[in-house]
Amino acid sequence: MEKQPVDRLTIQNTVSLNDIESLAQGYILNCRCEAKSPKTIAIYELVLRNFLWFCHQNHYPTEPNSINADHIREFLWYLSSSTNRWGTANPRTKKPASKTTVGDYHRSLRTFFKWLEREQLISDNPFNHLKTPKPDKKIIQALTPNEVKKLLKTCSGKNAFDTRNKAIISILLDCGLRISELAGLTLEDVSLNNGTLLVKNGKGGKQRTVRIGTQAQKALWRYVSIYRKSRSKQLFLNRIGEPLDVVGMTILIRRLGDKAKIKVHPHKLRHTFAISFLRAGGDAFSLQYLLGHSTLQMTQRYLQSLNADDAINAHRKFSPLDNMQM
């Protein structure tokens, strides 16, 4: 989702029930009281800021009961068609938003208006008259076994940084963690004796325990026991001994990919874990837990991608024309 230079919503002491902007402030306060994750709240703030900006630009009514389904449709159409969103110079807003982004906006706004409806602040929810946008059904791309070997080879050295990098890549490939979950790990979250990791900062604030395979355990043990020299509680550190954050890890993985001459990003490693787990015989329900998915919907996308890859391999073997004696 795009960033743009509108001031953050601030919670004021008084909230007007007749002004959508004040109600948006109250909604953010409610989200904080419900202890929603900072990332979730930041997304809601961004969506509401942009929606309010669009309403002001188009002179839409500010009373919540006056906003109807057509106003929402116009906003979603603006997202999916505008080549100069929010009036900023950000290059990411110079092309129409993807179906995924439009879906994210739709979902966040729908949650806000459901809250207004639940609190009896509106008499008619405009989202009751809207259909959910259909997302792109893209086949999920994973690394091939050969690409995995190339990536691991880039950090096969015996120095501290190669050892750290190999541990990072190994855990992402073997455990399927989100990059934010990996960056949030502390030494206390690691149990090499049991071969497990405790993920405390999962999506939606949910915790889960995941297993580390023997190869990933070995890589992590070498890093922690031999090369990691710091009193910091965070598991993975940068060159000056400070926690390696999400941005640093993302840049690191892309650089290793460039070195291996393959295109890779953190989520592609997560995709690779999921596809490999299913191909090895793992079941979808276990994968759902290991990935930290709240529903099977996303997990099923991996099943669809797996079926597509297997069908292609089967065709390679059983191609009708290739098997004809011609």
Buried b (16+ CB within 10 A) or exposed e, 211-239: ebeeebbebbebbbeeebeeeeebbbbee
| CB of 4 closer than 8 Å to CB of 50 | yes
Catalytic residues: 178, 203, 267, 270, 293, 302
Q: Domains of the chain: which residue ranges?
A: 20-129, 145-313
| CB of 182 closer than 8 Å to CB of 171 | yes
Reduced to 3 states (helix: H, G, I; strand: E, B; else coil), residue 99 is helix
Query: Residue 37's pLDDT is what?
Result: 78
d(CA 242, CA 239): 7
Query: Residue 325's pLDDT is what?
Result: 60
d(CA 83, CA 92): 9
Reduced to 3 states (helix: H, G, I; strand: E, B; else coil), residue 60 is coil
Rounded to whole angstroms, the maximal C-alpha distance in the chain is 82
pTM value is 0.70
Reduced to 3 states (helix: H, G, I; strand: E, B; else coil), residue 306 is helix
Please report, in tens digits, the pLDDT of each residue of the chain (326 residues total): 444 433 334 434 444 556 888 999 999 999 998 888 788 889 999 999 999 999 999 999 888 889 999 999 999 999 988 888 887 777 777 788 888 889 899 999 999 999 999 999 998 999 999 888 776 667 788 899 999 999 999 999 889 999 999 999 999 999 999 999 999 999 999 998 899 999 988 777 788 999 999 999 999 999 999 888 888 899 999 988 899 999 999 999 999 999 999 999 999 999 999 999 888 888 888 888 899 888 887 788 787 777 666 767 766 776 675 677 65
Name the β-bridge partners of 234.
186
d(CA 127, CA 172): 38
Query: Residue 15's pLDDT is what?
Result: 47
**CATH code 1.10.443.10 for 145-313:** yes
**For domain 20-129, which architecture applies?**
Orthogonal Bundle (1.10)
| CB of 180 closer than 8 Å to CB of 164 | no
91: alpha, beta or left, given left = phi > 0 and alpha = psi -120 to 50? alpha
| CB of 219 closer than 8 Å to CB of 212 | no
Q: In angstroms, what CA-CA distances link 103 with 126, 130, 254?
A: 16, 12, 27
Q: Find, among 68, 82, 198, the residue nearest to 124 by Cα.
A: 68
Query: Residue 74's pLDDT is what?
Result: 94
Query: Residue 73's pLDDT is what?
Result: 93
Strand-strand pairing, 190-191 and 208-211: unpaired
Residue found under tokens 């961004």: 46
What tokens appear for 128 in the block? Answer: 């009751």
Within 8 A by CB and 6+ apart from 93, the residues are: 2, 4, 82, 84, 85, 86
What tokens appear for 286 in the block? Answer: 């276990």
